[in-house]
Structure 1
Amino acid sequence: MIKSLPHSRVGIQRIPLLLLLASLTLLASCSSSPSDLKTLQQQVWKNPKDAGAYMLLGNGYARSERYSEAAEAYKSALAINPKLDEANHALGAVAFNQKNYTESLKYFQKHLEHAPKDSLTLYDIGNAYMQLKEFDKAAKSYSEAIDNSESFTEAHYNLAICYLNTGQRAEAQSIYEWLLKKNNYLAVSLQKHFKKDTIR
């Protein structure tokens, strides 16, 4: 008979606590605290001509869901450096998060002018069109994103949703079968949309 050491039981009992602490640390790092934002603001005040500092400040505001302030910071970055294309994408994301989908399209399309094969931007454009219920335009954007990145499973999934909303069930079914091999979670979620489509 092997006796267990009392210390090993204590160690095992501490594992959930350690996991909880690690999770809290990770969550805390995802949002900007007021002191982090103050530090970023100070960087902007010290270097008012630094577009990168404005981008970091905008990102901090966006993480804190202070979208109006984030947009102002990104616009300031663009005023300093009009070729700072990531600011256009960031402005599109801020507008999208504020549910201003038409405005987000303007910025995403401006970003796309400089990076016409950017799959993520094409996907974001598709998402904006889907929110506007312009499913044909959304499907076109998702298809272009997939053309540039064949394994973009989320774009396939959203394209299938567009197909279901435009009566193209066979095309959606084809994507569903592809997703079964690639991402079971998305396939199961898509299956729920098929059931809703049948009820309509």
Structure 2
Amino acid sequence: MSMIPILAAVIFLTVIVIIMITFLGRSKGGGRGGKRAKGRDAILKNANKRLSQNPRDPEGLLALGDLYYQEEAWDKAYTNYLALVEMAGSSPTINEFEVNLRYATAAMKLGFTNEAYKGFSTARSLKSDNFEVNYNLGNLEFQRKNYERAIQLLQQARTQDPEHAPTLRCLGHSLFKIKKYKEAMSFIRKAIDIAPEDKESLYTLAECYFEVNQTEQALRIFGHLRPDPVMGPNACLFSGTINMNQHQYEKAIQDFEIGLRHQNIKPDILIELKYRAATAYLKQQEIGKALGHLKDIQAENPAYRDVSVLIGKYQELNANQNLQIFLMAPSADFVALCRKIVMTYYTRAKIKITNISVNKNEWADILAEVDTPKWSDVVMFRFIRTQGSIGELIVRDFHSHLKEVKAGKGICMAVGTFSDEAKRYTEARLIDLIEKEKLSAILNTVDARSARALPTKK
């Protein structure tokens, strides 16, 4: 029990000491703040007094300029250093290099790039080995697209500070602009190691990999950037284009569609993503999805590339599945459709196909023995997949083939049209030319006719 009063006294004294220390600390801090405030007030008072007597007083301008520069009050610093720059050389108290450097820095902070360029250029003429001057001037030369000059200045800045990420970054981007991709990669990688959050540099690094034919590395980086809200749409466009070039259409579609899910996409990137997505869908014969993108583009920009032509062409295909097969399907599906046409071309006829040949997926020739109630003969059919005008040479080739196989008649079908020369060539020969309109009618009815021709099951 005797220890309780002692413990209470100790606790009481400890609390008193803590309160006193806290109070003294605050008093000292307030004193320092007060001294700073008094020091700032004194500078302002003294400088303004001198300037009221002489608005171009160097010491007054220097004092105010230094104060505002330290406080990063860039508009006020700029005004004071502009006056000092104009007076430089006329007063021994003005350090011409320093006032030009600070004038340029303040101008750059305010976005006055021309004034900043002038100030840094003057400063460099006075002192060429200053890191801050060389870096900033190099950066401004990059913005002006003077890439060779930017590289010279940034190389010098790099020798003074080899680990300065902005210098490495700007140097790498400058080298990329003049297509020195391998050198650019080296500096951009170093910059990213120091500042890994720099997504723009990461994107440029991927472009470098693409330019030096290291497409797998490029795709990995673009894939990493696809979700990024800023660089994502561009990365998706680039990645999808690479996959398109490699005939990886499903992957390309995935890239483009991820890009289109982003918000606030730049209009030119948005329209190109839709156009290339449509192109990829067409390669996959997904015409409906392609038309959706093409019509979106047409609503925004009717004159964009060949969008109107593609819509006109593929709307018809989308409505006619057999026409799609005839023009776009793999060779096996195309030949199967052609067989169906041959087998149903003549009504109440017995038809036996004896030979099929395909020429580089451009056309198919089918030889058939046809027996009708009125006549029997060997007939050669040629199905041409080429759109547009079919010339005389293809028809001549077809006629030569007819003679080789001793066919009595030839039927040449095309989605396009036959030239006048081709038509004249067939006038005295047993060759029928069937153009788009009639072929489309055949394609529209061939399935129904084929179904009727099937034998009835008992």
TM-score by length of 1: 0.69
- Cα 1:150–1:60, aligned 2, differ >3 Å: closer, same or farther? closer
Deviations 1:16-72 (A, max 9, x none): xxxxxxxxxxxxxx9976x86443222224454532221111122223332221111
Conserved 8 A contact 1:160-1:175: yes
Q: Which residue of 1 aligns with 2:260?
A: 180
Give the number of the structure whose residues are more often helix, by fraction: 1
1:24-43 aligned within 5 A: 37-43=117-123
Residue 179 of structure 1 aligns to which amino acid in structure 2?
G
Deviations 1:80-115 (A, max 9, x none): 112211111111111111011121111111212223
1:66-105 aligned within 5 A: 66-105=146-185
Which of 127, 132, 144 is residue 212 of structure 2 equivalent to?
132
Secondary structure at 2:247's aligned position in 1? coil
Conserved 8 A contact 1:117-1:145: no
Deviations 1:147-192 (A, max 9, x none): 6x35522122222222223332212212222333333643431344
Conserved 8 A contact 1:32-1:61: no
Conserved 8 A contact 2:226-2:259: no
Pairwise CA distance, 1:143: 2.1
For structure 1, the 5+ residue unaligned runs are 1-29
Which of 52, 60, 67 is residue 132 of structure 2 equivalent to?
52
- Cα 1:59–1:116, aligned 2, differ >3 Å: closer, same or farther? closer
- Cα 1:131–1:193, aligned 2, differ >3 Å: closer, same or farther? farther
Whole-angstrom distance in 2 between the partners of 1:59 and 1:117 = 20
**Structure of higher RCO (CA pairs closer than 8 Å, 6+ residues apart):** 1
Pairwise CA distance, 1:126: 0.8
Which of 270, 273, 279 is residue 190 of structure 1 equivalent to?
273
Whole-angstrom distance in 1 between the partners of 2:164 and 2:213 = 30
Secondary structure at 2:179's aligned position in 1? coil
Whole-angstrom distance in 2 between the partners of 1:40 and 1:111 = 24
CA-based RMSD of the aligned residues comes to 3.0
Whole-angstrom distance in 1 between the partners of 2:260 and 2:197 = 27
For structure 2, the 5+ residue unaligned runs are 1-110, 284-458
Conserved 8 A contact 2:142-2:174: yes
Which of 134, 141, 163 is residue 61 of structure 1 equivalent to?
141
Q: Which residue of 2 aligns with 1:17?
A: none
Deviations 1:5-26 (A, max 9, x none): xxxxxxxxxxxxxxxxxxxxxx
- Cα 1:114–1:150, aligned 2, differ >3 Å: closer, same or farther? same
Q: Which residue of 2 aligns with 1:108?
A: 188
Q: Which residue of 2 aligns with 1:7?
A: none
Secondary structure at 1:65's aligned position in 2? coil
1:128-167 aligned within 5 A: 128-146=208-226, 149=228, 152-167=232-247
Residue 172 of structure 2 aligns to which amino acid in structure 1?
G
- Cα 1:65–1:159, aligned 2, differ >3 Å: closer, same or farther? same
Conserved 8 A contact 2:142-2:170: no
Whole-angstrom distance in 1 between the partners of 2:226 and 2:203 = 9
Give the number of the structure whose residues are more often strand, by fraction: 2
Residue 177 of structure 2 aligns to which amino acid in structure 1?
N
Residue 224 of structure 2 aligns to which amino acid in structure 1?
E
Once the two structures are aligned, what percentage of the paired residues are identical?
Answer: 17
Secondary structure at 1:77's aligned position in 2? helix
Higher Rg of the two aligned structures: 2
Conserved 8 A contact 2:157-2:167: yes
Conserved 8 A contact 2:260-2:274: no
Secondary structure at 1:82's aligned position in 2? coil
Name the count of aligned residue pairs.
168
